[in-house]
Amino acid sequence: RWHANRGTSGIDGCTSTALGSAFIAERPTLLITGDVAFLYDSNAFWNGLATPGSKVVVIDNGGGNIFRYIPGPDRDKDLLPYFETPHGRDPLALAGHYGLATYEAFDRTSLQQGLEQLFRDHDRPAVLVVRTDPGVSPRVLRAYFEGLAGDRG
């Protein structure tokens, strides 16, 4: 099953929604989110009610990198400083603060290992932080979506 959450500007309550869904469904739930959204709604973990089946993948590109991809801001590089939100925070450390199992990926090999560990860890909620290059990730994302569009047509 797929669920989606669209708050104001897209990040409000994403983590809380995923954890609530996992709690009610009583089955494994995967949230794929960005670093800013994860940090913004990190209070979702404060009460310790996240189920062991709650798994989170955080794409950490240093803050608000989606604006390098979506139409509009990507065309005027002078505007990027007003859209992006570099935070200097470590989502991995924050996840550890809440007692979550933590994993980190920075290349293809560590991503594969991290995903295997994320889903193998059944004792507690877990977070995999995927470190990406903010200059490269928009091109990769754009190519991914273009590939999906090509598959439909």
Q: Tens digit of pLDDT for each residue in 122-131?
A: 899 999 999 9
Tokens of 138: 């928009």
Range of the domain at 136: 8-152
pLDDT level of residue 9 (50, 70, 90 thresholds): low
Q: What CATH number corresponds to the domain at position 81? A: 3.40.50.970
The answer to whether the beta carbons of residues 21 and 49 sit under 8 Å apart is: no
How many domains does one find in the chain? 1
Judge whether 113 lies within some domain: yes
Model confidence at 69: pLDDT above 80: no
pLDDT at residue 142, as a whole number? 82
Judge whether 69 lies within some domain: yes
Judge whether 44 lies within some domain: yes
Judge whether 2 lies within some domain: no
Cα atoms in the Cβ-side hemisphere of radius 13 Å centred on 2: 2
Residues 68-96: what's their mean pLDDT? 82
Model confidence at 77: pLDDT above 80: no
Model confidence at 2: pLDDT above 70: yes
Q: In what order do the strands lie in the sheet with 29-34?
A: 29-34, 54-60, 126-131, 101-105
Q: Which residue has the higher pLDDT, 106 or 148?
A: 106
Please provide the average confidence, as pLDDT, over all residues in the chain.
87
Judge whether 1 lies within some domain: no
The answer to whether the beta carbons of residues 105 and 128 sit under 8 Å apart is: yes
